Each structure stands twice: as structure tokens, then as C-alpha cells.
Structure 1
Amino acid sequence: MSKEHYLTLNKASGPNSDVPTTPFVKVVALIATLGGLLFGYDTGVISGALLFMGKELQLTPLTTGLVTSSLLFGAAFGALLSGHLADAAGRKKIILGLAVIFAVGAMGTAMAPDVNWMIFFRLVLGVAVGGAAATVPVYIAEIAPANRRGQLVTLQELMIVSGQLLAYISNAAFHELWGGENTWRWMLAVATLPAVLLWFGMMFMPDSPRWYAMKGRLAEARRVLERTRRQEDVEWELMEISETLEEQRGEGKPRVREIMTPWLFKLFSIGVGIAVIQQMTGVNTIMYYAPTVLTTVGMTDNAALFATVANGVVSVLMTFVGIWMLGKMGRRPMTMIGQFGCTLCLVFIGAVSWLLPETVNGQPDALRAYMVLIGMLLFLSFQQGALSPVTWLLLSEIFPIRLRGIFMGGAVFSMWIANFIISLCFPVLLAWLGLSGTFFIFAAIGLAGALFVIKCVPETRNRSLEQIEHYLRDTLRSDREEPDRSANQAWGSAQKDEA
């Protein structure tokens, strides 16, 4: 790929273009990210439902952890499976199938007669959640123009936190309006509606141009590009995709064992690390167990439910900040801001719960409860305003096109396994070590994650997906692997000339 190619591309549909996003791209992104809305709702709704299902399902601390974390265990395998199938069957077909699984899982949990069926249907629901987490960001990244990829992929994170906010609002509303012990079933059943909308919407959407090109269906790839790019930009982007695929044509069909290629193993390890550190902050213990934590420090059920709505509002507002920041700064500094900020907030929550008294004059200390809530809100500001949006974006960008589905599935599998372990252990840790000890452990893990960010996270801003692929391949290959640095050098020269 020549310097002139990059210069022309960057002035057209490339990462430095100022061309606005077409309405069709926005519609595609909005419909696809209904999967993110479901992801958020189904992971957030359990926080309020746990307060009311416990008596009917006879939950213990262990089974409480299993009900919460079974979704995450299913999500790990849903991500792994969908990652493999998305390369073979296409991103669109996978999302359609996931919509059906979302609906079945939501209705199953709402009608579960006992804890065993609840855990089973939470596993089913988890398959859809994990599949959406692995497939939707890749689909959007591959269909979006390079100059708007960051904002459009981050729409997935906005929909996730919007789904969680919707869950918190519906939890509080159902309890306030109807009360009673069975309202948790309606809380869970609501998720069926967006699942139906996702299925109908995706029926009318195309697959991504990169998937069509990977399957040799260049005419269809061109048609999608014509609907999502300016007419004069179509040829350049199709040429770039075709050239990258041509370089890989001799490598045959994607195979899992290719991960053992040294530079690919390094890249996959970086992707797994990026995915896991986002969970090791303990974010989802706050999202899933916020009412439990707040009632532990003295809030009533009603106060805890309404306070959890504040968590959702802050998450949504800060995701808008994150989308804005992605247009202003690089992926690497944004990851650092998120990781260091989250770690400091975990220390704050642990210190508050350790230093302030549990009771004052025989009553729960309101100051302690609200200081913990403030710590949660600050934590979510860094998590949802920086770390989470850039995590999903990096995962959708860094993997090579031939292996993107497989590698994305593996990285998200690792994310969900980490989430599963943390969510399963949290009620036990809370009962054993208390709030302060539990959050100090998360803070220590956060420090280890910060070291990983400093050492390993790459910068991908202002590069097309194909440029990122060449850049990372040439950076991670050893001299013995005969690196071809021409593409990276061409990109660097083009950047200097444009500057």
C-alpha cells in the first residue's frame, strides 16, 4: 500500500476525513445496539429483583451468587461460540439468532418456578448477552466509516448503560406502583420487548462489507459501501479491504491454532488483558449488587432502589462524555484515565466503609451510606466515562480481519469468565471480609491492571481497520518473522505530510 493510497484514503473515507455519517449508518448502528440495550437490561435488572425473589426462591448467599453469575458463565460461552460462527455465518445472522435467545431467556426467567430453573434460564440469557457483546461491536466497527468508528462503536456502551438505567427505573417503578413479592417476575419479563424489536430490525439490515469481501462477495460489499459512504470514497475503501484480504489469501480458512503464531499470540494476549481489566475493577459488583451493598450500609429497600437509579443516570451521562472524549483524545490515555480513576474510587469506598462507624445512637450511620453511594457514583464516572467505552472500541479494532470473530469471541469469553468469578465471589467476600475488605481487594487488583495498561495497551486512533492491522502486525512481529514494515512506514509518511 503506497503513501499516495493512504493520503487519498484519509481525505476520502479514511480516519482523518471530515465527511459526516450517512443516515443509513446511524440506523444500522441504532438497531444493532438494541443488543447492547438487552445486554444492559438483563445484567442490571437482577440488582433489584434479588431483593424480592429471595424469599420465594429461598436464596442463600451462595445461590444468590449463582443466580447472578450464571448469566455471566453463559455469556462467556455465548461470546466464544458466536465469535466462531460470526466469521462463518455472518454478523447479521448471529445477531438475529441472539434476538430469539434473548426473548426465550427473558420469558424463562420471568416464569421460573424455583432456583434451579432460574439458574438455567439465566444461563440461556447469558448466551445471548455474551454473543451480543462479541458480535455487535465488530459488526458496527466493520460497517462504520473510519472517521466515525469510535463514536458509533461506543454507542454500544451507551445502550448497555441505558439498558441498565431502564432496568433500575423499572425495578423502582414496579415496586412503587404494585409492590408485593411477585413484581420481580414483571421486572424480568420486560426484556422480551426489545428482543422482538432487535429481530425485526435486523431482518432489514445488511451484513458488513468486510464480511462480504472475506467471503468473496465483492458486489454485495460494494453495495453496502455505496449505502454507507460517499460515492467517490467507495473504490478506495473496497481497494484497501481487498488488498488486505489478498495478502492473507494464501493462509486459508481461519483456524484457532493460528493463535500460536508468536505475533498473533501477543496480540490475542493484549486483547484478553484489555477485556479482563475492565471487569477486574469490580464494576459489575456495583451494577448487580448496588441495592444489596446500600442496604448493607443502612439504607432501606426503597432508598436503595432509588439510589441505584442514580447509578444508572450517572452511567448514561458519563458515557456521553466518553463518546465526546473519544473524538478528542487517544485510546491509550483514555484507558489510563479510566483505570487509575476507578482504582482510586475503590480505595475511597473501602476507606469510607472502614473508617466511618456503622451506627450512630443505635441507628445506621446515614453519612456512611451516602459516602459509599458517592464513591459508587465517582467510580462509575471513570468506568463508564472512560474505561468501558474504550475497552469495547479497542477490542473491535485490534484483531486482524481473518481472525476477528474468533479472537473477539475469545477475548470476550475471558471477560465474562472474569465477570462470572467476581460476581459469584462477591456475596461470599462481603459476608466474610465486609465491605471495606472486599473493595480493598478490588483496589489491589486495579493497581495490577494499571501496570498492564501502561505497558501493553496500543494506540489505534486515526487509523483505518486495515492500517491498524498492518501497524500491530509489524510492531509485534519479531525479526525472525520477517516483518514487512512498508505499510506502517507509508502510514507514518502520510501522517507527517498531512501535518
Structure 2
Amino acid sequence: MGKANNNRKNTSYQCFLQKVTWICSLGGLLFGYDTGVINGALPFMKKELELNEFTIGLITSSLLIGAALGAFICGKLSDRIGRKRTLIILSVIFIIGTIGSSVMPSFRSMLPFRLLLGIAVGGASAVVPVFVAELSPAKRRGQLVTQNELMIVTGQLLAYIINAILGNVWSDHVWIWRGMMLLAVVPSVGLLLGLLFAGVPESPRWLASQGRHEQALDALRKSRKTEMDAMAELEEVQKTARDDEQLKLMDVMREPWLRRCLFIGIGVAMCNQLAGVNSIMYYGTNILIEHGLMTNVALTANIANGAISVLATVLGMFLLGRIGRRPMLLSGQLGTVLAHVAIGTCSLVMEKGKTRAFVVLSLTVTFLLFQQCGISPITWLMQSEMFPLRIRGLAMGLSTSILWMVNCVLTFGFPIVVSWVGMTATFYTFALIGCCAMLFVFLFMPETRRKTLEELERQFQSEDIKALKKPGGSGNFKAVSDVRAVVERNE
């Protein structure tokens, strides 16, 4: 009977974790769809709104400007009012921004709604990984947080598929881009309803930081295997929350170990964007057209980029439970550097036409295999894992905001730079930047595998570089916490 009860409890807590993660990850789906849909919408928007290279870059990057602002504001806001409430506000902004961007009659009237939509995208990118990480047990944190990355690339794949279907069936109607964008209302409403009515709790770590320990314990009971697990983890969270106080950015800069955390987090975020992934995700269709394909063929062919992103992310989730964060990220960076060199060389030596276009497509697929398996999942996971509780919202917001700023600069500049220096020089430059990013990761990035969030904080605080670069033990820390909890209760 006891064994049957344990099995039921085990199934119950796992189902609860999956339900909460899927609901929160709708924010990731919207992130992916809203950033991916522009890829296929641009050829039609260009005709209806009479866009040039500058205004194309502005429409695409306006969402990213909003995202940089949203990530920073919502990171701080989530520290103040909680992760769940912040996501509820963001889901409403998603709905308003999506509808406004889809129905506005001109380029100028659309821009404010693209900025608003960007605030929601950036806010979700900063809050969702932290929320899921703070709800997850240490052993499952990597896979559950990376589920958000899976939803991001799934959203991009859905956008590419819908773009291809609508763009081929209604290719004579230049307004079809409005339908492509408007469909994002569906998951926006799903996110709002899920947060309000599906029993999603607030982050136990945020609750503990506010002194609401009973509510924190209730949240942990639902998301941990046993009562002992929940009690032991609450004890560790309470200890960290007692020692910590919420800090401002200037306070962080005065503390060397906190400054180091922030520096590494920002560096990892920048490495992700400087790999050039979003130049392919946003302009993939245009890249294929530039290399020799017709618009309708390029729209369909671009689905391959979305499909490989999903498959690679699933592979990355599988590998996260078996390989450390550092080797995964370094391997991904090496693969993307080689792919950039190959794309640049192909553009240099091959004649423009279908053959070159499909060779470039195969190389962008190869690039995305390494990017979405090794770089992107680790980036978002590291952002959610490595910052101490007292600066988690602030630091996550700041590093994610800088990620979006770099994304914005690259996205705005990519079509302009390509028109100036060509594809070859552009992709060779990406390869050179990728080599510098590999050196940064090798020298500075910690290994967070199999470590609790509190254990990581102690290692950063003690500046134990050797321990930071090694994976944690397989349960030793947990056992110590259990013993200490029992002893203190007996006392």
C-alpha cells in the first residue's frame, strides 16, 4: 500500500511540474512565433507598406527594442510583485500588441504596437526561465527550463509553416501578412487563462524572500517528490533569503563576486546573439531569395530551418541530463563557427542559382543544429541558474535586456551590412566573433550541472573557481540538507 501511495505521489508531482512548465512556456511559444513570423511576412509587408532596406530593418528591430526594455523592466518588476503576476500582465500585453500590429494600416502606426509586443516578448524571455527554474528540483531543472527553449523554436517552426501555407495559398493578396501575425492571439489567451485558472503557484523562492514561508512550503509540496524534500529545500531557501537582501545595480557593482556573476551572465547572453542565429531566423527567407530561390519556394524551404531547430532542441534536452553545460556550449560554438565559414565560402565560390541556394539551406540547417542543440538552451538555462536570489530578477532582466539590444543591432544592421559588403564578408565576420566567444566561455563560464541554486551562490561567494567549473555531486548536497533538517526539527 505504501509503495502504491509513493508511486501515486511521484506521478502527481511530475504531472504538476509538467503542467506548470507547459503553461509558463506558452510565453516561450509566443516569443518564438512573434520573432519568427516576420521572416515570411516581410515580402508581403514590403509590397503593401512600400518598405525599403531601412524600414524593413526598423520594423524587424522595433520588436527587439521593446524586448530589451521589457526584459529589464520585467526582471525588476518580478522581484517586486512576483513571477506569476508579472506573467499575467505580460499575457495581456501580448494580446494588445498582437492585435494592434496586425490591423494598423501603415508602417508608422504599426511601430508603437510592435514596440509593445516587444515588451511582452522580452519580459517573457526574462521571467519564464527564472520562474520555471525556481519551481524545479535541481535534478530536473535543466530539462524543465530547456522546455521553454523547445517552445521558442516550436513557435518559430509554427510561424514558418503558417507563413508557407498562407503565403502560397494567398500569394496574390499582399495583406496576408496580417493573418500571419494575428494568429498569435490564440496562445496569448491560452497563457492568460492557464495562469489564472490552472492552479499555477507563485515561485517558492520569491515567496520565501517575501517572508511568506507557509505559501512557499505549499508550492514546494506540490512540486517535490516527498514532504522531506519540500521541507529540506525550504530550509535552504529560507537560509539564503535571510542572508540576502534585495540590491540595486550600484550595490551589485561594488561586490566583486556579484559583479563577476553579472559579467559572466551578460557575456553568455551576448555570445548567444553574436553567433548570428537571428540573422538566419529573421531573414532566412530573404537569404534564400538572395541566393537564387523564388519567394514561394523560399517560404517553403525555410520550414527546414524551423524543423531542425525543434529537433536539435529536443536532442539538447536529452543531452542536458548527461553532459555538462560547458562542453555542450563549447561544442555548439565550434559547430556554428565552421558553418559560418562554409556559408561565406559558398557565397564566394558558387554561382547564384538554385544549386547555391539549396547548398546554403543545408548549411543554415547545420548551423541551427549546433546553435539550438548546444548554444541556445544553455544560454537561457545559465541565465536562470547562476544569479543569486537577491539579484536574480535584476540580473536576469539586465543580461536579457543586453541580449535583446545586441539582437536589435544585428537585426537592424544585417540587411544593410549585406548590401554593403556581401554575404561572404558578413558570415566570415560572424565566424571570427564566434572564435572570441569560445575563448570567453572556456575562461569564465561556470558548470552548473547537478547543483542547487543555493549551492551555486555559495561557490560564487567563496570565489572557488575550481568548484565552479566542476559539475555538482549526484545527490550529496541533498542528503546533507535532509540530515540537517531532521536534526534541527529534533532539537
State TM-score, norm by structure 1: 0.90
C-alpha separation in 1, matches of 2:220 and 2:17: 10
Offset of residue 232 of structure 1: 2.5
Structure 2 vs 1, CA of residues 403 and 355 (structure 1 numbering), >3 Å: closer, same or farther?
Answer: same
Offset of residue 414 of structure 1: 0.7
Question: Can you list the C-alpha shifts for 1:294-350, whole angstroms capped at 9, x where unaligned?
Answer: 000000111100111111000001100000010110011111011111111111100
Match of 2:42 in 1: 50
How many pairs were matched up? 462
Pairing partner for 2:231 from 212, 231, 235: 235
User: Gapped runs of 5+ residues in structure 1?
Assistant: 1-17, 359-364, 478-484
Offset of residue 176 of structure 1: 2.3
C-alpha separation in 1, matches of 2:100 and 2:69: 19
C-alpha separation in 2, matches of 1:20 and 1:388: 30
- Contact 2:450–2:473 (8 Å) recurs in 1: no
Q: Bigger CA drift: 236-245 or 39-48?
A: 236-245
Match of 1:273 in 2: 267
- Contact 1:267–1:476 (8 Å) recurs in 2: no
Match of 2:283 in 1: 289
C-alpha separation in 2, matches of 1:265 and 1:476: 15
C-alpha separation in 2, matches of 1:279 and 1:438: 15
Amino acid at match of 2:192: W
Match of 1:222 in 2: 217
Amino acid at match of 1:445: I
C-alpha separation in 1, matches of 2:259 and 2:236: 25
Match of 2:357 in 1: 369
Matched, 1:449 2:437: yes
Q: Bigger CA drift: 199-208 or 209-218?
A: 199-208
Structure 2 vs 1, CA of residues 493 and 53 (structure 1 numbering), >3 Å: closer, same or farther?
Answer: closer
- Contact 2:163–2:180 (8 Å) recurs in 1: yes
Match of 2:486 in 1: none
Matched, 1:333 2:321: no
Pairing partner for 2:409 from 421, 427, 431: 421
C-alpha separation in 2, matches of 1:445 and 1:290: 20
- Contact 1:345–1:379 (8 Å) recurs in 2: yes
C-alpha separation in 2, matches of 1:112 and 1:75: 20
Matched, 1:381 2:369: yes
Structure 2 vs 1, CA of residues 65 and 221 (structure 1 numbering), >3 Å: closer, same or farther?
Answer: same
Offset of residue 406 of structure 1: 0.3
Amino acid at match of 2:53: P
Amino acid at match of 1:348: A
Pairing partner for 1:209 from 192, 204, 210: 204
User: SS of the residue aligned with 2:260?
Assistant: helix
Matched, 1:172 2:164: yes
Pairing partner for 2:89 from 93, 97, 112: 97
C-alpha separation in 2, matches of 1:154 and 1:392: 7
Matched, 1:24 2:20: no
User: SS of the residue aligned with 1:459?
Assistant: coil
Offset of residue 243 of structure 1: 1.4
**Match runs of 1:114-129 below 5 Å:** 114-129=106-121
Offset of residue 121 of structure 1: 1.4
C-alpha separation in 2, matches of 1:369 and 1:460: 40
Amino acid at match of 2:54: L
- Contact 1:467–1:491 (8 Å) recurs in 2: no
State TM-score, norm by structure 2: 0.91
Match of 2:145 in 1: 153
Amino acid at match of 1:238: L
- Contact 2:336–2:367 (8 Å) recurs in 1: yes
- Contact 1:263–1:476 (8 Å) recurs in 2: no
Question: Can you list the C-alpha shifts for 1:226-248, whole angstroms capped at 9, x where unaligned?
Answer: 11112231111111111112222
Match of 1:253 in 2: 246
C-alpha separation in 1, matches of 2:78 and 2:393: 6
Pairing partner for 1:113 from 105, 123, 127: 105
Pairing partner for 2:449 from 461, 468, 488: 461
Fraction of identical pairs, as percent: 45
Runs of 4+ in 1 over 4 A off after TM superposition: 18-21, 490-495
- Contact 1:38–1:160 (8 Å) recurs in 2: yes
- Contact 1:162–1:316 (8 Å) recurs in 2: yes
Match of 1:472 in 2: 460
Match of 1:264 in 2: 258
**Match runs of 1:72-83 below 5 Å:** 72-83=64-75
Offset of residue 472 of structure 1: 1.7
C-alpha separation in 2, matches of 1:40 and 1:425: 21
Pairing partner for 1:182 from 175, 182, 185: 175
C-alpha separation in 2, matches of 1:419 and 1:75: 10
Amino acid at match of 1:385: C
Question: Can you list the C-alpha shifts for 1:275-298, whole angstroms capped at 9, x where unaligned?
Answer: 011000110010000010000000
Question: Can you list the C-alpha shifts for 1:161-190, whole angstroms capped at 9, x where unaligned?
Answer: 000000001111112222311110000100
Matched, 1:130 2:135: no
Matched, 1:347 2:341: yes
Match of 1:302 in 2: 296
C-alpha separation in 1, matches of 2:93 and 2:434: 34
C-alpha separation in 1, matches of 2:227 and 2:55: 57
Offset of residue 450 of structure 1: 1.0
User: Gapped runs of 5+ residues in structure 2?
Assistant: 1-9, 481-491
Offset of residue 493 of structure 1: 12
Amino acid at match of 1:468: L
Q: Bigger CA drift: 311-320 or 202-211?
A: 202-211
C-alpha separation in 2, matches of 1:220 and 1:234: 12
User: SS of the residue aligned with 1:22?
Assistant: helix
C-alpha separation in 1, matches of 2:13 and 2:334: 33
C-alpha separation in 2, matches of 1:215 and 1:370: 55
User: SS of the residue aligned with 2:302?
Assistant: helix
Pairing partner for 1:318 from 307, 312, 336: 312
